[in-house]
């Protein structure tokens, strides 16, 4: 995480809050722009070329903004990033903004890794427990790792809760070695 990306993310979060912009819509518009920008080599070349005049770049940005339905605040945020030659940091800035917006809205990202694919019933029960641990709403992603043998590992932010069979066996091994 760069300090620059975090500064831009907090600045835009302040704009969203002060101007009562729909945060979810702003995030979607930013993701739409990210996809458009990443998907077009020509667009990247035009917007990042120092030889192309600022006014021409802004006309291109305005055409994209109109096409994907950007709010004026989102368009201006992208223009500021472009003006300060930070488009190469766009992905990191947007990732930081999503994290800041989630934090402000009380959402936490939770990554759940299990030894096998979980049933809907298991997922619901596990998500209920993770919601309690997070102390608020969660957005979960699931992964499978057969090396866990059983159980699950839950990561909420930088905190890891390891309830895997592999971890339990390792703890048992340590107790037996020290006994």
pLDDT, tens only, 119-160 = 999 899 888 888 888 877 888 889 998 888 888 888 887 788
Q: How far apart are CA 158 and CA 18, in angstroms?
A: 29
Beta-carbon-side half-sphere exposure of residue 115 (alpha carbons within 13 Å) = 11
Average pLDDT over residues 16-29: 90
Residue 104: pLDDT band (50, 70, 90) is confident
Residue 1: pLDDT band (50, 70, 90) is low
Considering the domain 3-103 in this protein, what is its CATH number? 1.10.520
E strands, 66-165, in order: 107-114, 137-144, 152-156, 159-162
Highest mean pLDDT among 73-82, 94-103, 146-155: 73-82
Helix (H, G, I), strand (E, B) or coil at 40: coil
Average pLDDT over residues 96-104: 84
Q: Which two tokens stand for residue 26?
A: 């702003």
Nearest by Cα to 105 from 6, 1, 2, 26:
26
Q: Maximum Cα–Cα distance for the chain, whole Å?
A: 74
Residue 110: pLDDT band (50, 70, 90) is confident
Helix (H, G, I), strand (E, B) or coil at 135: coil
Q: How far apart are CA 47 and CA 54, in angstroms?
A: 9
Contact 70, 58 (CB under 8 A): no
Helices (H), the chain: 3-18, 23-39, 41-48, 54-68, 72-83, 90-105, 120-134, 165-178
Which pLDDT score, from 0 to 100, does residue 28 have? Answer: 93
Distance of CA 100 to the CA centre of its chain: 9
Q: pLDDT tens digits for 23-74? A: 889 999 999 999 999 999 999 999 999 999 999 999 999 999 999 999 999 9
Which pLDDT score, from 0 to 100, does residue 45 have? Answer: 92
Which pLDDT score, from 0 to 100, does residue 108 have? Answer: 77
| Least-confidence region, from 26-35, 73-82, 160-169 | 160-169
Distance of CA 97 to the CA centre of its chain: 8
**Domain residue extents for the chain:** 3-103, 106-178
Bridge partner list, 161: 154
> What is the C-alpha R_g of the chain?
21
Which pLDDT score, from 0 to 100, does residue 106 have? Answer: 75
Task: Please name the residues in contact with 67: beta carbons below 8 A apart, sequence gap of 6 or more.
Answer: none
């Amino acid at each position: 995480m760069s300090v620059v990306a975090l500064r831009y993310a907090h600045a835009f979060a302040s704009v969203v809050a002060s101007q009562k912009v729909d945060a979810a819509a702003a995030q979607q518009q930013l993701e739409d722009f990210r996809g458009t920008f990443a998907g077009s080599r020509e667009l990247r070349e035009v917007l990042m070329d120092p030889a192309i005049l600022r006014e021409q770049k802004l006309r291109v940005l305005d055409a994209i903004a109109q096409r994907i339905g950007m709010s004026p605040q989102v368009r201006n945020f992208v223009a500021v990033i472009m003006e300060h030659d930070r488009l190469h940091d766009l992905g990191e800035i947007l990732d930081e903004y999503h994290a800041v917006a989630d934090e402000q809205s009380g959402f936490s990202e939770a990554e759940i890794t299990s030894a096998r694919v979980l049933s809907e019933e298991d997922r619901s029960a596990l998500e209920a427990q993770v919601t309690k641990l997070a102390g608020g709403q969660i957005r979960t992603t699931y992964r499978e790792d057969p090396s866990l043998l059983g159980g699950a590992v839950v990561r909420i932010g930088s905190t890891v809760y390891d309830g895997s069979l592999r971890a339990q066996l390792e703890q048992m091994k340590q107790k037996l070695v020290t006994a």
